[in-house]
Structure 1
Amino acid sequence: MTLSLADAARLTAGATMWTTGAVPERNARSLMLADGPMGVASGRVDERDVSVLTPAPVAQGASWDLDLVAQMGALVGNDAITMGVDALLAPNVNMARSPLAGRAFEYYSEDPLLTGLCGAAWVRGIQSTGTAAVAKHFVCNDSETQRDTMNCVVDDATLRQVYLLPFEMACTAGCGGIMTAYNHVNGDWCAEASGPLTIVRDEWAYGGVLMSDFFATHSTAATLNAGLDLEMPGPARFLGAKAEDAVAQGLVSADRVQDAAERVIRFNQRFGGAKTPATLDSEELLTAGAAAGFVLLRNDGLLPLAPTIRTLAVIGPNATAPCYQGGTFARIAVTPDALTPLEAITATLGQHMAIVHEPGVDPQPRLPAMPVTPALDLGDGCTTGLTVEYFAGHDLTAPPLSRETRATNSLVWFHGVHDQGRFNETGAVRASGWYVASGDGAHRFYAGATGPVVLKVDGVEIIRRDVQPAASDIMGVLKAGDADEGVVTLRAGQRVLVEVELRYAPARVQGLWYGVRAPDTPDAMLARAIAAAAQADAVVLMLGETADASVESKDRSDTRLDPAQLHLAQAVRAANPRTAIVVNVGHAFDASFATDAAALLVAWYPGQNFGKALADVLIGTREPGGRLPMTLAAQEADYPAYGLTPDDGGDLRYDDGLLVGYRGFKAQGKAALFPLGAGMGYTSFALGEARVADGRIVVEVTNTGTRAGSEVIQAYLAQSPYALVGFAKLHLAPGESATATIEPSPYILRSVPGSDAVPLVIGRNAQDAAVTLRLPR
């Protein structure tokens, strides 16, 4: 059945915020979309948005285990089925080009092959359940600074061999769709970039749907003629009925609109049918998956912890306030059942040793929580949180439209305030609750919003923030979370009413956030931590980021941990050298502060079972199975790509070319502090003979230690550009030998000129040339 032009045009835009259009007579029902990739985000972006939270892609990439990555995709697919979701906007197969990238936790690696293999595995996993994968963000959306306007300038070879390659591999794996990014690439908006989109449609013969990121379209004719099929979200802004108008004006062919509609129909038909949940042990998979991504970079015999330890000090802010995930609009709430690292360590080890804890520094340096009880009893059984009231207009003395209780310090509304659909009108919100001071002294209150905000304590205004709504990247405003501060002196036990008021103007999204910091001093917190460390037999020092440190719309300014945390690390190690440092970050970081630590473990953002996995790894019931998916430099100047601020003309030049990440270190003759692929478990391995058999690289590997463990054998091109061509991960018992078989990637070898045999190096990281051989062409 051929669609009318009007019906075809209608399908080129989403029906609603999260749904596609439908054609029932073609068995193409509307599909429900949701954001990802760490879990299924409902779009609320608040404490009610609970679903399964897997390890972040950077942690999955660190596992170097494609079967595990596929299982993670299937696990998310299962949750999507439960939630009635047909397609997930994931995986993110952009590249961790710079350590400053604000969204690097959502990327698998700095290497295009590892990124592509992981992305393809995740696609196969989730789509095995009948849930679609939509790979994003096409293309060169590898940073966040000025992402709505900046122009990535990249040569054709680099574009194809580095930044397009992971998308090509996702397409080969059959991903249901590709989502274009916000930025420009070589002068064109990504949704209008006919060059890259033509490669996808024609050279790769990709038959899936090409959709825009949300609100990332800027035109009608240019967008359709470049090859985009679907504008999101709905209702239409530039496509939809305007596509029909463009045909009437001779700007777009009717065939192009019909083709776009047919691609949407095929997408709906393919993923609108019956779902097939995967058979998985979710709890075990989430714990094993987290541990598999932990990267142990140093260990002087401290780990696993000896059973003779009588007192263990668990120090650091991330012991009780861990970072499970990054701050994107795919953020989901962690299940209340999740144990913090301190809780899990206490539950696992508390019967065998005394566990003491001190944060050492403020665990929430940006926006602290606000522990309050509701100002009003709404009969909902809620005993914590704030009473939130919604008003028509800016008069808060008028009767509220509605009320609810919310247990959060960050309120975000996408679908109208309290689902009332009032974003096209002015309105107001008041959040209020009773706060009881925990000590004597100055209490610091914080408040911020997408519009003018006031915070009152017992009726006295202490904060007035008269900001105006952002003109462009409102999502960036939300994620940046800027707030003003006001100070009130309270007595211990004093009960005060806190009211936070937002008066908003019409906008497509609104947000309000607030917090309070109780009296304490950095010196006092540090002193307590030092004392606890000195009196313990061993220390687990947990450092890293808060949940709002790595965010969408914002890149970092450097790779260092917070100065207060670095000072804490120095002081604690001086008090007790038997300190295992656990770093909870989502990106490459400056590890120079810990190069002589007794143990250094990188945990990344490991999902909801962080605590359980860490406790198991500390006592040795699981090994830290990860290897670095990116390079940790000895100094920031060594990174081939570092700064991410576009020039005055808005251009961000990819001058590192093909020499991204570890390739640039090799080309410049610079040794990394810890190279790509580095890491160790709790045993040791020896590599034996390497040879080529039937086009595969075969390496003999022996576990020479006393514990079972895993090793990742890696093969690299031994010529410029130095590049990963394949790897194999083995798990061996003590004394066991086995053969590692590496499939050299045709995606990498096709770019090697000539017909001579290809020189390779085989080792356990990008700087380890344990074995050399030549691969016949």
Structure 2
Amino acid sequence: MTLSLADAARLTAGATMWTTGAVPERNARSLMLADGPMGVASGRVDERDVSVLTPAPVAQGASWDLDLVAQMGALVGNDAITMGVDALLAPNVNMARSPLAGRAFEYYSEDPLLTGLCGAAWVRGIQSTGTAAVAKHFVCNDSETQRDTMNCVVDDATLRQVYLLPFEMACAAGCGGIMTAYNHVNGDWCAEASGPLAIVRDEWAYGGVLMSDFFATHSTAATLNAGLDLEMPGPARFLGAKAEDAVAQGLVGADRVQDAAERVIRFNQRFGGAKTPATLDSEELLTAGAAAGFVLLRNDGLLPLAPTILTLAVIGPNATAPCYQGGTFARIAVTPDALTPLEAITATLGQHMAIVHEPGVDPQPRLPAMPVTPAMDLGDGCATGLTVEYFAGHDLTAEPLSRETRATNSLVWFHGVHDQGRFNETGAVRASGWYVASGDGAHRFYAGATGPVVLKVDGVEIIRRDVQPAASDIMGVLKAGDADEGVVTLRAGQRVLVEVELRYAPARVQGLWYGVRAPDTPDAMLARAIAAAAQADAVVLMLGETADASVESKDRSDTRLDPAQLHLAQAVRAANPRTAIVVNVGHAFDASFAADAAALLVAWYPGQNFGKALADVLIGTREPGGRLPMTLATQEADYPAYGLTPDDGGDLRYDDGLLVGYRGLKAQGKAALFPLGAGMGYTSFALGEARIADGRIVVEVTNTGTRAGSEVIQAYLAQSPYALVGFAKLHLAPGESATATIEPSPYILRSVPGSDAVPLVVGRNAQDAAFTLRLPR
């Protein structure tokens, strides 16, 4: 059945915020999309829409285990089926080019091959369930600063060999779609970048759908002629009916619109069939997946913890306020059953030793929680949270249209406020709850919103901001999440009514956020932590970030942990050298503060089973199986790419070229503090003979320790640009020997000039040249 031009044009834009158009006559139903590199995100951004939260992509990349990555994809795909979602906007195969990238937790690695292999594995995993993968963000959306306008200037060789390569591998794995990014690349909006899009459609012969990121289209003819098929979200802004008009005006060929529609139809047909969720042991997969990504960089015999320990001090803010994931619009509502690290350690070790805890420092989230009980009993069984009331206008003395209870300190509405429809009118929201002061002194309250906001304590106005942002600026206000502060002196046990009010104007999204910080003094917190450390037989010191430290739309300013945390680490180690430091971050960081620690474990953002996995690793029932997916440099100046602010003309120049990450350090003759691929487990390995056999690299490996464990053998080009060409991960029992077989990647070898044999180095990380080999052409 041939579509009319009008029907074909209609399919070039989404039907709604999260759905594609449908053609029932072609068995192409509308598909439901959702964000989801770490799990199926709620389109409502609602804490009640709980779904499986896997380890973040950086943690999956750290596993160097492609089978595991595929299992994570299948787990997410299975969850999508239960939630009625047909396609996930993932994987994110952008590159961790700079350690400052705000979204680095969503990237697999700084290396294009490791990124591409992981992305392809995730695609195969999720699509084995019948759920589509849409690889993003095409292309060079590797940073967040001015991402909506910046122009990434990158030469052709670098573009192809580094930044396009992971997308090419995702396409080869059969991903259902590719999503173009917000930024420009070499002068063109990504949705209008005819050069890169032609590579996808023509050189790679890719037959999937090419869609825009949400609100990332800027034209009709230029977008269609460049090769984009689908504008998201719907209703249409630039495509849809305007595509038909462009044909009538001779600006776009009718065949291009028909081609775009056919690609959308094939996408709908391929992933719109009936799906049945499989029975999976998600608890074991999530725990094993987290542990497999933990990277142990130092261990002087402290880990696993000895059974002779009588008192274990668990110190640090991340023990009770861990960072399970990064802060994006793909944020997952974590199951309330998730154990914090302290809870899991206590449950696992508490019967064998005394567990004491001190935070040591304030976690310093931009927005602390507000532990309250609802102001009203709505009969919904909710014992915690705030009563949220919705009003038709700005008069909050009127009868509210509806009420609900929300157990969150950040309310976001994309589809209209609660049940009031889309944001086509003014309105108001009031969130109220009872707060009980935990101590005497100054309590700091916070409130922010996408419109004028007021916070009251027992009827007294503490915060007022009367600014109404322009509708075009609302998304930026929401992303920034800035909040005003007001101080109230309370007595311990005092019960007060907190009310937060938002009066909004029409816009495509609205948000209201609030929090409170109880009184405490930094000196007292530090002193209690030092005392606990000194009196313990061993210390687990948990440092890192809060959930809003790594965020969409904002890059970091440096690689260091919070200064208060660094001071805490120094003081605790001085009080007790038997300190294992666990770093809960989502990116490369300055590890020099712990380079000589008794133990240093990087946990990344490990998903909902962080606590269980960490407890198992600490006692040795699981090994930390990860290796670094990115370089930890000795100093910030060593990173080939660092600053991410475009110049005055809006250009962000990729001057590091092919020498991204570890490649650049190698070219400069600089050693990393901890190189790409570094890490260890709880056993030891010996490498035997290495040779080339039938075009493959083979290495004999023996587990010489007393525990089962894993080792990752890595092969690199021995000539510039020094590049990973393949790896193999082995799991061996004590005393067991096996052969690691590495398939050199044709994606890397095709860029090596000449016809001579290719020189390689083989070892355990990017700085380990245990063997030198020559690979015949």
Q: Give the TM bin, normalised by the shorter chain.
A: over 0.9
CA shift, 1:274, in A, is 2.5
CA shift, 1:472, in A, is 4.5
| Cα distance between partner residues in 1 of 2:209 and 2:490 | 58
| Cα distance between partner residues in 2 of 1:491 and 1:329 | 38
Q: Is the 8 A contact 1:128 1:276 kept in 2?
A: no
CA shift, 1:374, in A, is 1.0
CA shift, 1:312, in A, is 0.2
| Cα distance between partner residues in 1 of 2:594 and 2:454 | 43
Deviation track 1:260-318 (CA, whole Å, cap 9, x = no partner) reads 00000000000011225445321111000000000000000000000000000000000
Give the TM-score, by structure 1 length: 0.99
Q: Is the 8 A contact 2:112 2:166 kept in 1?
A: yes
Q: Is the 8 A contact 1:475 1:553 kept in 2?
A: no
CA shift, 1:444, in A, is 0.6
Moved over 3 A (4+): 276-279, 470-476
Q: Is the 8 A contact 2:82 2:277 kept in 1?
A: no
Q: Is the 8 A contact 2:365 2:549 kept in 1?
A: no
| Residue 382 of structure 2 is aligned to residue 382 of structure 1 | yes
Deviation track 1:20-64 (CA, whole Å, cap 9, x = no partner) reads 000001010111111011000121223112100000000000000
CA shift, 1:481, in A, is 1.5
SS of the counterpart of 2:285? helix
Change (3 A) 1:136 1:474: farther
| Cα distance between partner residues in 2 of 1:578 and 1:598 | 6
Q: Which consecutive unaligned segments of at least 5 residues does structure 2 have?
A: none
Deviation track 1:655-712 (CA, whole Å, cap 9, x = no partner) reads 0000000000000111100000000000111111111111100011111111111000
| Residue 702 of structure 2 is aligned to residue 715 of structure 1 | no
Give the TM-score, by structure 2 length: 0.99
Deviation track 1:227-279 (CA, whole Å, cap 9, x = no partner) reads 00000001000000000000000000000000000000000000011225445
| Cα distance between partner residues in 2 of 1:255 and 1:637 | 52
Deviation track 1:504-549 (CA, whole Å, cap 9, x = no partner) reads 1111001111011111111111111011000000000000000000
Which range moves more in the overlay, 417-426 or 138-147?
A: 417-426
SS of the counterpart of 1:524? helix
| Cα distance between partner residues in 2 of 1:510 and 1:634 | 43
SS of the counterpart of 2:488? strand
Q: Is the 8 A contact 1:639 1:661 kept in 2?
A: yes
Change (3 A) 1:148 1:473: farther
Which range moves more in the overlay, 609-618 or 492-501?
A: 492-501
Q: Is the 8 A contact 1:480 1:551 kept in 2?
A: no
| Cα distance between partner residues in 1 of 2:279 and 2:115 | 26
Give the alignment of 1:316-395 within 5 angstroms. 316-395=316-395
Deviation track 1:596-638 (CA, whole Å, cap 9, x = no partner) reads 1000000000000000000000000000000000000100000
Q: Is the 8 A contact 2:471 2:507 kept in 1?
A: no
CA shift, 1:177, in A, is 0.2
| Cα distance between partner residues in 1 of 2:479 and 2:686 | 47
CA shift, 1:366, in A, is 1.9
Q: Is the 8 A contact 1:30 1:268 kept in 2?
A: yes
Q: Is the 8 A contact 2:316 2:543 kept in 1?
A: yes
SS of the counterpart of 1:38? coil
Change (3 A) 1:305 1:706: same
| Cα distance between partner residues in 2 of 1:445 and 1:413 | 23
CA shift, 1:735, in A, is 1.6
CA shift, 1:577, in A, is 0.4
The alignment yields a C-alpha RMSD, in angstroms, of 0.9
CA shift, 1:383, in A, is 1.7
| Cα distance between partner residues in 1 of 2:98 and 2:364 | 26
SS of the counterpart of 1:417? coil
SS of the counterpart of 2:549? coil
Q: Is the 8 A contact 1:685 1:702 kept in 2?
A: yes
| Cα distance between partner residues in 2 of 1:672 and 1:88 | 36
The residue number in structure 2 matching 1:198 is 198
Deviation track 1:102-147 (CA, whole Å, cap 9, x = no partner) reads 0000000000000000000000000000000000000000000001
| Cα distance between partner residues in 1 of 2:578 and 2:38 | 34
CA shift, 1:75, in A, is 0.3
| Cα distance between partner residues in 1 of 2:188 and 2:150 | 10
| Cα distance between partner residues in 2 of 1:345 and 1:46 | 29
SS of the counterpart of 1:472? helix
CA shift, 1:475, in A, is 3.8
Deviation track 1:324-379 (CA, whole Å, cap 9, x = no partner) reads 00001110111011100000000000000000000001124321111111111212
CA shift, 1:480, in A, is 2.5
The residue number in structure 1 matching 2:598 is 598
CA shift, 1:561, in A, is 0.3
CA shift, 1:425, in A, is 1.0
| Cα distance between partner residues in 1 of 2:466 and 2:629 | 44
- Identical positions, percent: 98
SS of the counterpart of 1:700? strand
| Cα distance between partner residues in 1 of 2:423 and 2:471 | 15
| Cα distance between partner residues in 1 of 2:709 and 2:589 | 26
Which range moves more in the overlay, 223-232 or 485-494?
A: 485-494
The residue number in structure 2 matching 1:128 is 128
Q: Is the 8 A contact 1:75 1:278 kept in 2?
A: no
Which range moves more in the overlay, 262-271 or 465-474?
A: 465-474
Change (3 A) 1:120 1:737: same
SS of the counterpart of 1:462? strand
| Cα distance between partner residues in 2 of 1:758 and 1:556 | 39
| Cα distance between partner residues in 2 of 1:662 and 1:631 | 6
Q: Is the 8 A contact 1:697 1:744 kept in 2?
A: yes
CA shift, 1:467, in A, is 3.2
Q: Is the 8 A contact 1:93 1:116 kept in 2?
A: yes
Q: Is the 8 A contact 1:476 1:554 kept in 2?
A: no
Q: Is the 8 A contact 2:290 2:610 kept in 1?
A: yes
CA shift, 1:478, in A, is 2.1
| Cα distance between partner residues in 2 of 1:179 and 1:721 | 29
| Cα distance between partner residues in 1 of 2:292 and 2:627 | 9
CA shift, 1:473, in A, is 5.9
Q: Is the 8 A contact 1:369 1:515 kept in 2?
A: yes
Which range moves more in the overlay, 302-311 or 443-452?
A: 443-452
Which range moves more in the overlay, 435-444 or 604-613?
A: 435-444
Q: Is the 8 A contact 1:412 1:511 kept in 2?
A: yes
CA shift, 1:422, in A, is 4.2
Q: Which consecutive unaligned segments of at least 5 residues does structure 1 have?
A: none
CA shift, 1:88, in A, is 0.4
Q: Is the 8 A contact 2:698 2:739 kept in 1?
A: yes
| Cα distance between partner residues in 2 of 1:661 and 1:681 | 24
Q: Is the 8 A contact 1:327 1:479 kept in 2?
A: no
Q: Is the 8 A contact 1:286 1:608 kept in 2?
A: yes
Which range moves more in the overlay, 742-751 or 682-691?
A: 682-691
Number of aligned residue pairs: 777
SS of the counterpart of 2:223? helix
Q: Is the 8 A contact 1:299 1:599 kept in 2?
A: yes
Q: Is the 8 A contact 1:135 1:179 kept in 2?
A: yes
| Cα distance between partner residues in 2 of 1:727 and 1:83 | 36
Change (3 A) 1:470 1:300: farther
| Cα distance between partner residues in 1 of 2:27 and 2:372 | 51
Deviation track 1:445-480 (CA, whole Å, cap 9, x = no partner) reads 001111111111111111112333255464443232
Deviation track 1:375-413 (CA, whole Å, cap 9, x = no partner) reads 112121222111111111211111111111111111000
Which range moves more in the overlay, 714-723 or 466-475?
A: 466-475
| Cα distance between partner residues in 1 of 2:394 and 2:279 | 52
Deviation track 1:146-173 (CA, whole Å, cap 9, x = no partner) reads 0100000000000000000000000000
SS of the counterpart of 2:418? helix
| Cα distance between partner residues in 2 of 1:662 and 1:46 | 40
| Cα distance between partner residues in 1 of 2:199 and 2:151 | 19
Q: Is the 8 A contact 1:410 1:512 kept in 2?
A: yes
Which range moves more in the overlay, 116-125 or 487-496?
A: 487-496
